[in-house]
A = this chain, B = another copy of it.
Amino acid sequence: METAAEYAIGIDIGGTNTKFGIVNHRGDISNVGEISSTNHDDINDFIDELYAMIKPAIKSVGGLDVIKGIGLGAPNGNYYTGTIDYAPNLQWRGIIPIAKMITNKFNKPCTLTNDANAAAIGELMYGAARGMRDFIMITLGTGVGSGIVANGQLIYGHDGFAGELGHTIIRPGGRLHWGTGMKGSLETYASATGIVITAKEILAERVNEDSLLRKLSNEEITSKKICEAAIKGDTIANEVFQVTGHILGEALANFVMFSSPEAIILFGGVIKAGKLLLDPTRESMEKNLLPIFQNKVKLLFSELKESDAAILGASALVWEIKPEAVTSGGN
């Protein structure tokens, strides 16, 4: 039984859609909805539409009085400044003081963090990381993101941008990143985008070897299709996950030797590959660890429903609000 019900609004801004929901302390989500992230050139218009959509949801749970605050996850979201800084996948350029803008519009404190950090907090409060003080969350989607928890706290770093593990270089001089121009970053191999590149490379190398993937046009080859082919026993598709796991495992070993986590939790579309990805990843990680770290780190998949996790993680920021966080955004 709940007395004095209290809710948080969770908002997840993605490159395509922005999802929201109302969340209680137990992590139950209600009033889920979404709007397009790309319909408004002006961020003010975007926030106006978001407010118009969420207003009835607020009313339905008992009005603004029972809302403690708003948690927001967004690419390049900065916890300290409340700003989205130069997000390559969003149409709003430069530095956007979005936490302040939402605070003003909704008249409730809004806390921002990047999407992977939000997922880590969600996992800590409601998922596979409950009770853990040290873990690393790796999101394997279109890109590779990360959220790092050490000593029970999310690591934001000096300027709020800690945890960009997808951009660490794991193959110096390796694959060119389509966005950053850097070579050999983890994201170029372990993201859905990278997996497709790996598949096309292997298909091109082994022209005489048959594969279910050869029935698809160049544009039809997605990480999902590769996964489906691998499950059906396709040799080349299986090889793609072997290669991906091999490289991901090397990267994870490096991360383990940094912060010595109890677990690494994998999250995002790519984990649908299940054991096909997990087994080679674990094998490669263990092989690249010093003996003192071997056979200790749990390699887990997220326990959160992917559709809910982003909202849940963002909403969890509200219960986490700390005095030192800038909850009203930039200057």
Contacts and interface: CB of A to CB of B under 8 A. Distances in A.
A164 interface: yes
A207 interface: no
A292 interface: yes
Interface stretch (A103-111, A154-162, A216-224, A230-238): A154-162
A248 to B, nearest CB: 13
A258 B260 contact: no
Interface string A139-156: 000000000101101011
A134 interface: yes
B257 A255 contact: no
A39 interface: no
A257 B167 contact: yes
A258 B148 contact: yes
Contacts of A160: 260
A254 interface: yes
Contacts of A180: 290
Nearest to A263: B158
A305 B259 CA distance: 28
Given A151-B153, A254-B254, A164 B290 contact: yes
Given A159-B260, A164-B292, 14 more contacts: A86-B291, A134-B162, A150-B162, A151-B156, A155-B259, A155-B260, A161-B293, A162-B259, A163-B258, A163-B259, A163-B260, A167-B257, A168-B257, A255-B258
